[in-house]
Structure 1
């Protein structure tokens, strides 16, 4: 009987240790999110209607709110229809930078495209979104 009580006590303590692990992970995750040093003005931009065959530049702005310079290491559009450019120099604390994507509005209809941004300030890739509708060109002017 004494052996059963000891086994039950060990099992109970073991289960209690698992329940303590999850809140620690949640706290660490919240601290990591709060520590991000890049604040984007907008992570998704709706450009509305744009005319067919007219490339549309879209500028995403961000501010470095951290204590170290931010360097953009890679910017990649989700398809060949989005050309990208970005601030190439280190962005000092308190300063701002940009990521520009130019959408090639070749085909009429709605679109949603993404741009993935990698920096030295965040461990995960930031995904920015552009969307809108390409309106078909009408008639030929004489």
Structure 2
């Protein structure tokens, strides 16, 4: 009797996990954007990460948090329908940050465990300093 109950619980558990896995599924083809070399004097730069819903239910981007204030993510306002894509825009402000940089953005969705870690990187050339007389 105990073996039958255990087998039944295992089958039910697999079914429940499969049902949740079939919900929305966040897919990001390119998780890293390399700005290359940028000039501090040119001001903020932007890039887009394309988010795709490979699930069968709407996917909501709940939040996107950058590791510091120099990086600002902007999430899609509408749910992403199954099979569709949306852009998450990231702005990086190089002011006062010459040299190499690598920043992360944590993306949370309405589906528990279906999150993403995105990265931007590059090198900032400093503003020219005036020559002293």
TM-score (norm 1): 0.69
| Cα distance change, pair 36–89 in 1 and its aligned pair in 2 (3 A) | closer
User: 1:69-108 maps to which residues of 2 (within 5 A)?
Assistant: 69-106=58-95, 107-108=97-98
Q: Does 1:119 align with 2:109?
A: yes
Larger Rg: 1
Alignment of 1:1-142 (within 5 A): 37-53=25-41, 54-106=43-95, 107-138=97-128
CA distance in 2: counterparts of 1:93 and 1:105, whole angstroms: 36
Alignment: residue pair count: 109
Q: Deviations over 1:64-113 (max 9, x none)?
A: 11100000011111101111201110110111012111001112100000
Contact 1:113 1:129 in 2 (8 A): yes
8 A contact 1:36–1:122 mirrored in 2 = no
Task: Report SS of the residue matched to 1:87.
Answer: coil
Separation in structure 2 between the aligned mates of residue 36 and residue 90 of structure 1, nearest angstrom: 11
CA distance in 1, matches of 2:38, 2:88: 20
CA contact (8 A) 2:23 2:57 kept: no
* SS of 2:48 mapped into structure 1: strand
CA deviation after TM superposition for structure 1 residue 51, in Å:
0.8
The runs of 5 or more residues in structure 1 that have no matched partner are: 1-27
Give unpaired runs (5+ residues) of structure 2: 1-16
